[in-house]
A and B are shown apart, each in its own frame.
Chain A
Amino acid sequence: MTETTHTAPAKVPRATAPPPATGRRSSPPRGGPLRRLTPWLFLAVPLVLLVTFTYVPVGNMIYYSLTDWDGVSPDRNFTGLDNYEQIFTRPELFRVFFVSLYYLAASAVQIAIALYFATVLSFDLRFRNLFKGILFFPYLINGVAIGFVFLYFFQDGGTLDSVLSWFGAGSDHAWLGDPTSANVSLAGVSVWRFTGLNFVLFLGAIQSVPAELYEAAQLDGATRWQQFRHIIAPSIRPVVSLSVILAISGSLAVFEIPYIMTAGATGTTTFVIQTVKLAFQFNKTGLASAAAVVLLLIILLITWIQRRLVPDEKVDLV
């Protein structure tokens, strides 16, 4: 459930990074005030955008979360931590966290499948590029299109029922009809959509291992399992642990697929769907902000844990 690329919160050493420049020294800090001003001329617009669309909203959000504001009226009352108390005590608000568990389980499946196919396709096979393309393509497809494809897939007498009846397992089960079945189905769509990204990441890591290593192992009579265990597994550990972290924060931030397919009906409301509904349908900006702050804190906590567990050797900045 690596929900697209834009908020991936970690770094991993890349095999494709360009070679470091030789003899690099930053230009001497000589010159007058104009010279000292130059970097700020380049940074002005990016910084203004960054502050306006990231830091101001985060600040406002924390402030709104302590009020009962409805998003429109000019007056708002300071209510302290009341919104936070509601999130953790009202069962209908708290319940959405359990829906995340379906997506969490789905990401485990997704990572396992991606790992299997990355290993298989790292060996020389016929039609290797074709299979790679087919497995990756779902990740590129528009979310709304995927939603519709799978609404038809799970429909009564739709794709899934028809395929099952080929195998004599025809059923009139309403796949999106009850909470458990609906959540499992939606989590399955998520596996279908995001496995390709994990797969390509794992494949890239495996292929960055020099080919001589495999050749040497084969000469020594290592089986494929031994090759996986002792060559492949260590080389992809960083990418896999990153994927696990992204999966955890991703499964809390699920929005598109359930919103498009069921609009959160039959117990498929996720945390983000609930927040969006609170803010934009029920005008409870205060409560929604508190929910968003809680999610933000959880994600920061997960990222912090990841940094502690997997210290990355290459810090890109600084």
Chain B
Amino acid sequence: MTTPLPARRRRLAPALTYLSLVVASLVVLIPLVVVFLTSLKTSQEVTDGGALSLPGDWLNFDNYVTAFTDGKMLSAFANTAVILLFSITGTVIIGSMTAYAIDRFDFRAKKPVMALFLIATLVPGVTTQVATFQVVNSFGLFNSLWAPVLLYMGTDIVSIYIFLQFIRGIPVSLDEAARLDGANSFTIYWKIILPLLKPAIATVVIIKGITVYNDFYIPFLYMPSEDLGTISTALFRFKGPFGAHWENISAGTILVIAPTLLVFLFLQRYIYNGFARGATK
């Protein structure tokens, strides 16, 4: 023992820290990279080579074409886009209206109303689908795009909390000044509150967007029709017809992951903050 222990530890510790980080990164990346490699291989290469072998032609996009044409990914992206547009717009309007009414008005039933929203956060969505299904079905919404839109809009209490949090930071004096100028409550909501809620809206759009984009359970339950696939359910259906054709399944998988990666790269900071806020509600 030539070097005293603390000094040696000081040199060893950073190396071990980096080692652990590199190992963790490999654990995250290797499964994804392998699927990406597989998506560029031919059927022959997948059967003959090992999982970690490299594709012969790095520009072989045939599997992606198959995923789009036979896997109905195009209509899946279109359906998902429609659901995203309506459910996010609805969530923003509903959430901000609720927060405005709760924060800016005094009315007798305020506490019961808040309790109603609060208790609803405790009810996990997965458990109630057995009965929710009957409600949706009785409206004749089964197998339509409106079922997920309404469910995403109507059961999002997290966004109400996010709006409530932000609306408290907007001084009431602004409302009062506008009221003196003759503005009514709707004008105040639309012209003053909503524009000032922009940061909250950005947060809600990002969290809600990613949650809806990734959701499998609701479209799977409510839209079994082939034409109404969302990216989750359309990808899930790859399992049957493509059987062991891992090159096609991999291409579909990468098609689904790629938009998420792009959004993440461009909106990193908002995403970290948004999810931290959403999850701790």
Which residue numbers of A lie inside 8 Å of B, CB to CB? 2-12, 14, 16-27, 29, 36, 38-40, 42-43, 45-47, 49-58, 60-61, 64, 71, 113, 116-117, 120-121, 125, 127, 129, 131, 133-145, 148-150, 152-153, 155, 157-159, 161-163, 192, 197, 200-201, 204, 224, 239, 242, 246, 249, 253, 255-256, 260, 272, 275-276, 279-280, 285, 288-289, 292-293, 295-296, 299-300, 303, 316-318
A7 and B124: CB pair below 8 A? yes
Given A47-B116, A162-B52, verify A296-B130 contact (CB < 8 Å). no
Are the CB atoms of B121 and A8 closer together than 8 Å?
yes
In the complex, the chain B residue whose C-beta lies closest to that of A15 is B276
- Flag if A60 contacts B260 (CB, 8 Å): no
Chain A CB within 10 A, most for which of B111, B216, B273: B216
A129-B21 Cα distance, complex, nearest whole Å: 12
Quick one: which of B20, B132, B253 contacts A57, CB cutoff 8 A? Answer: B132
Instruction: Please pick, from A136, A201, A260, the residue contacting B279 in the complex, using a CB distance under 8 A.
Output: A201
Task: Answer whether residue B131 sits at the interface, using C-beta atoms and an 8 A cutoff.
Answer: yes
Task: For the complex of A and B, list the 5 residue pairs with the smallest distance between their C-beta atoms, beginning with the closest.
Answer: A49-B154, A18-B169, A42-B101, A57-B131, A61-B131
Contact assessment for B131 and A289 in the assembled complex, using a CB-CB cutoff below 8 Å: yes
User: How many Å lie between the Cα of A171 and that of B183 in the bound state?
Assistant: 74
Q: 28 A-B Cβ contacts within 8 A? A: A5-B207, A5-B211, A6-B157, A8-B279, A11-B280, A14-B277, A16-B273, A24-B172, A39-B107, A39-B110, A42-B189, A45-B97, A52-B154, A61-B130, A120-B17, A127-B21, A137-B264, A140-B271, A141-B257, A145-B253, A149-B35, A152-B34, A157-B50, A159-B52, A192-B27, A201-B279, A293-B127, A303-B122
Return B234 CB to nearest CB of chain A, in Å: 9
Is the Cβ of A60 less than 8 Å from the Cβ of B131?
A: yes
Alpha-carbon distance between A162 and B124 when the two chains are bound, in angstroms: 39
Residues of B within 8 A of A157 (CB): 50-51
Which among A14, A43, A246 has the greatest number of chain B C-beta atoms within 10 A?
A43
- Chain B window 103-137, contacts with chain A (Cβ cutoff 8 Å), 1 for yes, 0 for no: 01111001101101110111111111111111100
Contact A256:B216 (CB < 8 A) given known A25-B172, A149-B253: yes
A137–B238 alpha-carbon span in the complex (Å) = 24
Query: In the complex the two chains form, what is the Cα distance from A42 to B107 in whole Å?
Result: 13
In the complex, what residues of B have CB within 8 A of residue A53's CB? 132, 135, 150-151, 154-155
Q: Is the CB of A200 within 8 A of B169?
A: no
Q: Are B217 and A255 in contact (CB under 8 A)?
A: yes
Contact B154 A142 (CB under 8 A): no
A18→B168 contact, CB < 8 A:
yes
B164 contacts A316, CB within 8 Å?
yes
Q: B264 near A204 (CB under 8 angstroms)?
A: no
Known: A9-B122, A61-B127, A317-B118. 6 other contacts (CB 8 A): A7-B124, A55-B120, A60-B131, A144-B216, A255-B126, A317-B102
Known contacts A58-B123, A253-B126; A19 and B280 CB within 8 A of each other: no
B127, A24: Cβ atoms closer than 8 Å: no
Q: How far is the CA of A130 from the CA of B280 in the complex (A)?
A: 24
B21 lies within 8 A of A18 (CB)? no
Expressed in whole angstroms, the minimum distance between the Cβ of B77 and any Cβ of chain A is 12
From known contacts A5-B158, A201-B276, infer whether A64 and B253 are also in contact, taking CB-CB under 8 Å.
Answer: no
Q: Is B249 an interface residue (CB 8 A)?
A: yes
Across the interface, which residues of B come within 8 angstroms of A246, CB to CB? 279
Residues B236-273 near A (CB distance < 8 A): 236, 238, 246, 249-250, 252-253, 256-257, 260-261, 264, 268, 271-273
How far, in whole Å, are A55 and B30 apart by their CA atoms in the complex?
A: 44
B171 contacts partner chain A, Cβ-Cβ < 8 Å: yes
Give complex CA distance A99, B27 in Å.
Answer: 25
Q: Are B105 and A27 in contact (CB under 8 A)?
A: yes
Q: How far is the CB of B76 from chain A (nearest CB, A)?
A: 11
A140 touches B27 (CB 8 A): no
Residues of chain A lying within 8 A (CB to CB) of residue B21: 117, 120-121, 125, 127, 131
A-side interface mostly: helix
Residue B64 is within 8 A (CB to CB) of chain A in the complex: no
Tell me how far the C-beta of B91 lies from the nearest C-beta in chain A, rounded to whole angstroms: 10
A29 cross-chain contacts in B, Cβ below 8 A: 106-107
Closest residue of A by beta carbon distance from B17: A120
Contact of A159 with B30 in the complex, beta carbons under 8 Å: yes
Residue of A nearest to B139 (CB): A52
Give B35-74 interface residues, CB cut-off 8 Å to A: 35, 38, 50-52
Contacts of A26 in B (CB 8 A): 104-106, 172
CA distance A129 to B151 in the complex (A): 36
Q: Is the CB of B213 within 8 A of A162?
A: no
Complex contact B169–A256 (CB within 8 A): no
B236, closest chain A residue (CB): A144
Task: Please state if B113 and A43 are interface contacts (CB–CB under 8 Å).
Answer: yes
User: What residues of A have a CB within 8 angstroms of the CB of B272 in the complex?
Assistant: 136, 200, 204
B232 CB contact (under 8 Å) in A27, A143, A159: A143
